[in-house]
Structure 1
Amino acid sequence: MAERPEQARGWGLLGELSAEFTGTMILILFGTGAVAQVVGVSLGAHDSIAWAWGFGVTFGVYVAARLSGGHLNPAVTVALAVFKGFPWRKVAPYALAQTSGAFVAALLVRWNYTEILAKFDPGHTIKSQAVFSTLPGNGAFPVSELGALRDQVIGTAILVLLVFAVTDVLNDPPRANLGPFIVGLIVVAIGMAFGVNAGYAINPARDFGPRLASYLTGYHHAWRDQYGNLYFWVPIVGPLLGCLVGGAVYKFLIGNFLVKGGVQEVGRAPAPESG
């Protein structure tokens, strides 16, 4: 989840979009697959879902990072355009590739778990909709749309702030190509701490692509929540607002105090002596 590596620029936009499509597909395969097991046959629990989403992010970023930077999330792409100079002309194509990858992955999970979902929820109702898309209060607790929107703003702000922190070469980023693993841990932590109010979509592509796939395969109520209200906009608008908040917090509280070549000496933890 960073700007596209300098070495990969020779591949062109097609390679970048292919990477974003494939990386996001990997993310959704692991995430929705884990939810399908938990919802359909009670194999696992909330923690296994959180870890699966985190591993999905890690593996997806490793797949895509060389060609595209491994954004896998339109909110991350927008934040990079606003705060890090990522080209605006690529924002919409990246978002489309990410959403398409999520859509295809959800179709594969829907197909693979056809028998289990049909047994668990023959009418393909709200009961199993959470396999593919998020709901306020995870479909079980009394959380309003505005409450879910607030949650998505906060969760995505945390995501973007921390992604900026671990990918900023002027800060102290992870070495030995551990960045994608750390970003995956960020998603696990968000799921464990901010998972109940809105299912921690924190990614418009992650929610809209699978929501569309479920709608086209029998979940005719997919655009609404358990109260019958139109809900699909919440995990789109919330992350797009939250990414701006998180990026601004990092920029003004951390980034502006970093200088070319390292951190300002005041308050800096000394680097270990060589030799």
Structure 2
Amino acid sequence: MPPPGSTHSKHEQHGFQSNQDIMVGEFSSESGINNLGLSQTSLRNMYEDEDLISRALSQQRSVVGFPIARSNKVLDMDRKVEKRLKEKIILKNDLVKEMIAELIGTFVMVVLGCGSIAQAVLSRGILGQIITINAGFSAAVALGVYVSGGVSGGHINPAVSFTMCFFGRMKWFKLPFYVAAQFLGAFLGAAALFGAYHDALMNFAGGELITYGENATAHIFATYPVSYLSVPNAFGEQVLSSMFLLLIVFAIFDDKNWRVPKGLEPFAIFMLILVLTCALGMNGAAMNPARDLGPRLFTALAGWGLEVFRAGNNFWWIPVLGPVVGGVLGGFIYIYGIEIHHANPNPGQRLQKLEEKHEISVIIFYPEETD
């Protein structure tokens, strides 16, 4: 039964049904909408036409004692206020947007990636093993790329940014800003993870924060070598793993190769990091100066002390310099071993190929910028 005080009829112009819909023009201020107890939201769901909304709201004087009659002028003013607020919040500088994206993407990678290590270490293997660490860190890298890729390219790694600049795919003036954002994101990520696992860290070794030994926890945040590893071997391992990283990243985003479908690039990155950590991860396989040095600096300040820099014959510089050298080497091998040998289609064929694939490279290869 319809509620008292309401009138029902067919209205073919707007598609109202006689047993469900209500004619706005037949409402009265005393017995119509107020008696029905309809809210503004209900009216907006019922009427898609803006004029019908305004007519209905102008007759609805109050609901549960609150005046809500609104005119078109008020609605327009609300929209203008919302637009002005949005214009004030939105950043205008593209470089600042890219820096924020790199910071957040690196933050995500460190919190989730190092968090997978923390869960395994602090539970003494009960809640995690090497497979969960490798899979967790690989997924963390992929998610960091998903977060930042559409804005900054999703580098989240100074070695990637340096390689892009070295081969002319990003302007050099952006490099220090990208690197600063990545290091800051990694530092903040380590701080957030330390806060999340503070009580577990304090309980793990009786309140001590240790760098070496059975109860060591510093390796949750940064990479440390095994005791027998020499400096040349450690450096070579970082160069080799980072070489494969950039070589395959260049392949993933090469339009003329078997390029990954748009939107699935981070999944390919996940597979890449997973196989690298499984094959070349015996010493942590940092492959990322920000991921290693940022959290290492945090641990030095948080209570582990400067021993985090002296460990492993001053190992700390190897995960910083090694990935940069390896990244350039990997980019060189791909560009001059694969990329330059692609056949060059005529412009029409190239355009048709891009239209068929419905994808544009946004994560690694940047278009030429105009000042």
Task: Report the CA distance between 1:98 and its aligned residue.
Answer: 0.5
Whether 1:253 and 2:342 are equivalent positions in the alignment is no
Task: Report the CA distance between 1:180 and its aligned residue.
Answer: 1.0
Task: Report the CA distance between 1:11 and its aligned residue.
Answer: 5.3
Whether 1:195 and 2:281 are equivalent positions in the alignment is yes
Give the match for residue 19 of structure 1: 101
Structure-2-length-normalised TM-score: 0.65
Give the match for residue 58 of structure 1: 142
- 1:66 and 1:119 map into 2 onto residues whose CA distance is 41
Give the match for residue 302 of structure 2: 217
Task: Report the CA distance between 1:23 and its aligned residue.
Answer: 0.4
Whether 1:132 and 2:132 are equivalent positions in the alignment is no
- 2:342 and 2:120 map into 1 onto residues whose CA distance is 44
Give the match for residue 115 of structure 2: 33
- 1:119 and 1:261 map into 2 onto residues whose CA distance is 63
Written as runs of structure 1 = structure 2, the 5 A alignment for 1:46-85 is: 46-85=130-169
- Per-residue CA deviation, residues 209-255 of structure 1 (Å, 9 max, x unaligned), is 10011111001111122x4x212101001101101110111011111
Give 3-state SS (helix, strand or coil) of 1:98's partner.
helix
Give the letter aligned to residue 134 of structure 1. Answer: T
Give 3-state SS (helix, strand or coil) of 1:134's partner.
coil
Whether 1:161 and 2:247 are equivalent positions in the alignment is yes
Give the match for residue 204 of structure 1: 289
- 1:136 and 1:144 map into 2 onto residues whose CA distance is 9
- 1:16 and 1:261 map into 2 onto residues whose CA distance is 33
Give 3-state SS (helix, strand or coil) of 1:218's partner.
helix
Task: Report the CA distance between 1:85 and its aligned residue.
Answer: 2.5
Give 3-state SS (helix, strand or coil) of 1:70's partner.
coil
- 2:345 and 2:219 map into 1 onto residues whose CA distance is 46
Give the letter aligned to residue 194 of structure 1. Answer: L
- Per-residue CA deviation, residues 79-124 of structure 1 (Å, 9 max, x unaligned), is 1111242101111110110010000000010111111111213321
Give the letter aligned to residue 274 of structure 2. Answer: V
Q: CA RMSD in A?
A: 1.4
- Per-residue CA deviation, residues 108-162 of structure 1 (Å, 9 max, x unaligned), is 101111111112133211111100000113xxx5212221111100000000000
- 2:165 and 2:341 map into 1 onto residues whose CA distance is 20
- 1:72 and 1:169 map into 2 onto residues whose CA distance is 22
Match of 2:264 among 178, 189, 198: 178
Give 3-state SS (helix, strand or coil) of 1:191's partner.
helix
Q: Mind listing any 5+ residue stretches in structure 1 that lack a counterpart?
A: 1-9, 263-275
Task: Report the CA distance between 1:176 and its aligned residue.
Answer: 3.8
- 1:258 and 1:207 map into 2 onto residues whose CA distance is 36
Give the letter aligned to residue 82 of structure 1. Answer: F
- 1:81 and 1:170 map into 2 onto residues whose CA distance is 21
Residues 260 and 64 from structure 1, CA distance in 2 versus in 1: closer, same or farther, beyond 3 angstroms?
A: farther
- Contact between 1:149 and 1:234, CA under 8 Å: does it hold in 2? yes
Could you say which structure has the larger radius of gyration?
2
- Contact between 1:170 and 1:261, CA under 8 Å: does it hold in 2? no
Q: Mind listing any 5+ residue stretches in structure 2 that lack a counterpart?
A: 1-91, 347-371
Give the letter aligned to residue 237 of structure 1. Answer: L
Find runs of 4+ consecutive structure 1 residues off by over 6 angstroms. Answer: none
Whether 1:119 and 2:203 are equivalent positions in the alignment is yes
Residues 59 and 37 from structure 1, CA distance in 2 versus in 1: closer, same or farther, beyond 3 angstroms?
A: same
Using CA pairs under 8 Å that are at least 6 residues apart, name the structure with larger relative contact order, 1 or 2.
Answer: 1
- Contact between 1:63 and 1:70, CA under 8 Å: does it hold in 2? yes
Give the letter aligned to residue 224 of structure 1. Answer: R
